[in-house]
Structure formats: C-alpha cells, structure tokens
Structure 1
Amino acid sequence: MLAFITAVAIAFGFIFINELGDKTQIIILCLATRPQYSPKRLATGAVTGFAVVVTIGGLVALLLSTFVQMDWITLASGCVFIILGSIQIMKWIKERKESHGIDLACDAEGTRKFEKRSSSFLAGFLAIVSMELGDKTQVATILLASTSASFLGTLVGSWAALSVLAVIGALAGQWIARKVPTRVMEILSSIAFVLIGTIMLVGTITALM
C-alpha cells in the first residue's frame, strides 16, 4: 500500500509540474472561453482523453518491464529524461534570445482545429488525444511506470495530475496562466527532467558496479 501511495505522489507531482501551463492546458483554456462549449463537458472530455493516453502508455510500460531487464530500462529511462530535459532547456535558451517578451495569448490556429466540433466532450477528448499521444508526458509516464515499485500507482498518479490540470484549464486556467508564466514552468520542468534522469542513471550505475 505504501508503494502505491508513494508511486501516486511521485507521478502526480512530476506530471503536474511538467504539464502546468503546457500547450495542452492552454488549448483547453482557449476552448473553454468559447460560448459554444460547456467547461464542465469540455473538462470531462479532456479527462477521458487523458485516461486513454495514460492507459496506452501503461500497456507499453508493461510490455517493456516484461521483456526487458529492469536495470537496462532504468538506464535507458535516465538517458531519455536527461536528453528531453536538455532539449527543452536549449529550446528555452534559444527562444529567450529571440524574444524578450512572453506571449500567453491563445493559439488561434490550434484552437480553430477543434472549433468545428459541436460536442464539448468530443472537443476536449480530441484535443487531448491528438496532442498527447507520443508527447513527452506520455513518454515520461511510460518510463516512470516501467521502473516504479507500483505500476498501477504511477498510472493513477499520472492520470490524476493530468485530470486536475484539465479541470483547472477549463474552469480557472486563465487565472493560472496570468499568474504563472509559461516560460517559468518550461524551465522548471526541463530541470526536473534532467535531475530525475541523473538520479536514475547514478542509481543504476551504482547498482551494476
């Protein structure tokens, strides 16, 4: 039970920090400002979409943990986390040099893709599935689940974090976006990726020696 609770807490905290202010939450926020969409149904669709994405990630993690030795999974996971974090940091530095301002305006082009959907639930569901399949968050969920002491706990924590963020995006995301700059969350999530990856690498290498 303790392993389950710990896995839920770790996955929830990690995913929440990485996704707060991310493009997916901003899209949900933008859709929620449209009069043709119900925020409640939009959030429900997004939560369902996250359940699908996390489940697919969980199945991939289960296959990995069944057929690949755990030490090698952890080693590979650490490398991937460091690479993803480093890429994000370099991207942030490059954008920082190119622009002095921070634009949190809704992406009209991205929002327009979903505006033709009459169903609020469907709009939220399609927004999440189309943007999160193969995204860094799903990769992080797969890596965490395949190396966690509680496989189910990691999936529950990941889904809970994403669901909470979807609800925040639909009901109060606009306030969050104004208070927490997107660039700040990007650099924090990048550092988190590198730190987690480094810890995993050091732990695995120490165990193999």
Structure 2
Amino acid sequence: MEAFLISTGIVALAEIGDKTQLLAFILAAKFRKPWPIILGILLATLANHGFAGAVGSWVTTVLGPQTLRWVLGLSFLGMAVWTLIPDKFDEKDAKLAHFGVFGTTLIAFFLAEMGDKTQIATIALAAQFKAFFAVVAGTTLGMMIANVPAVLLGSRIAHKMPVRLVHTIAAVIFAVLGVATLSGMGERFGF
C-alpha cells in the first residue's frame, strides 16, 4: 500500500505544470470532448508507465543491492532537481488531429511521456519498492489526478495552480527518498 500511495502522491505533484498537463489543457481546448481525451490519457499512461515499471523491476535483477541503492538514491536526488526545472511544451505534440480525439491524445501523451520525469520516476519507484503493480497503478492514478481536472476544467484552473509550490513539495519528497535510500534508512521504513 505504501508503494501505491507514495507513487500516486509524488507523480500527482510532479505532474502539475508538466508538459503533459499542458498538453491536456491544449487538447481539451482544441477538441472540447473530455471523455475521449481522458481515456486516451489513461491508456497512454498505463502503456508508458507499465513499460517503465517493467524496466524498474528488471533493473533490480541485474544490479546488486549496493549498486542499486546508489543508482536509486542518486536518481531520486536528480529527480528532485529536475522537478524544479519548468517544462516547455512543444506545440507539435498536439498536432496529430487526423487520428481523431482519442487517437491524437493516446499518441501525443505516450510520446510526450517518453523520457519525461514521471516515466523516470516510475522506473525508480518500481526498482525501489519492488512492487510493479502498486507502483504502476499509483503513478497512473497520480497522472489522472493531475490531468483529469486539466481536461475537465481547462483554463478555469490553469492560472490558479501554485505550480512552483507544488513542484517544490514534489522535489522535497524526491530528495527525502534519495537521502533515505542512500543512507539505507529506506530499508528500515519499507522502501
């Protein structure tokens, strides 16, 4: 349960102001059909984070415990720094309209998530917790928590989010995970 809750919270916070959330705002404004957009986001995230979770689970089979601890600890610290860097959205990510609302969303979200901080976080969390399903379910729920309101409420909430504060909180959580992992404290607390 801990892996699920931490994965949900950290990705929901990290996703605020992320390029995929900006993509959700743009798709919602462009198509004005929230349910195919939400379904596209869900399926793209499940596919992307499922792959990332599998990579994270696989990493635990090829790295020894000490090496894994250092890789994960440094990865979490790197994620803390990366979370503080504002994302830039590339308009070409939303220009796939000939695939329809659902297809455009599915393709655009899957591609936008490749190498994104939430995908990298999913890899690290799956390796850290050794709980593939809990992590993928949690990171997917975190994506939905951040993106569904963006689709449904669009521009009414875009300017009211304290993005910098939310990113700072996510960065602190990543940093705490990094320090706990490097110091070995994470093992004592179940992560």
> What's the TM-score, normalizing by structure 2?
0.85
* Structure 1 counterpart of 2:48: 53
**C-alpha contact 1:31 1:115 (8 A) present in aligned 2:** no
- Separation in 1, partners of 2:17, 2:132: 27
Structure 1 gaps of 5+ residues are 93-105
Per-residue CA deviation, residues 16-70 of structure 1 (Å, 9 max, x unaligned), is 1111232211211121012x45111011111111011111101211211122223
CA pair 118-142 structure 1, distance change in 2 beyond 3 A: closer
1:159 to 133, 137, 140: 140
CA pair 77-176 structure 1, distance change in 2 beyond 3 A: farther
- 80-89 or 40-49, which deviates more: 80-89
**C-alpha contact 1:22 1:182 (8 A) present in aligned 2:** no
How far the C-alpha of 1:206 sits from its partner, in A, is 9.2
- Separation in 2, partners of 1:196, 1:132: 22
1:1-209 equivalences in 2 (<5 Å): 5-34=1-30, 36-89=31-84, 91=85, 110=91, 113-114=94-95, 116-203=97-184
User: Identity over aligned residues, as a percent?
Assistant: 24
Q: Secondary structure at the match of 1:119?
A: helix
- Separation in 1, partners of 2:93, 2:74: 37
RMSD of aligned Cα (Å): 2.6
- Separation in 2, partners of 1:42, 1:88: 25
| Aligned amino acid, residue 50 of structure 1 | T
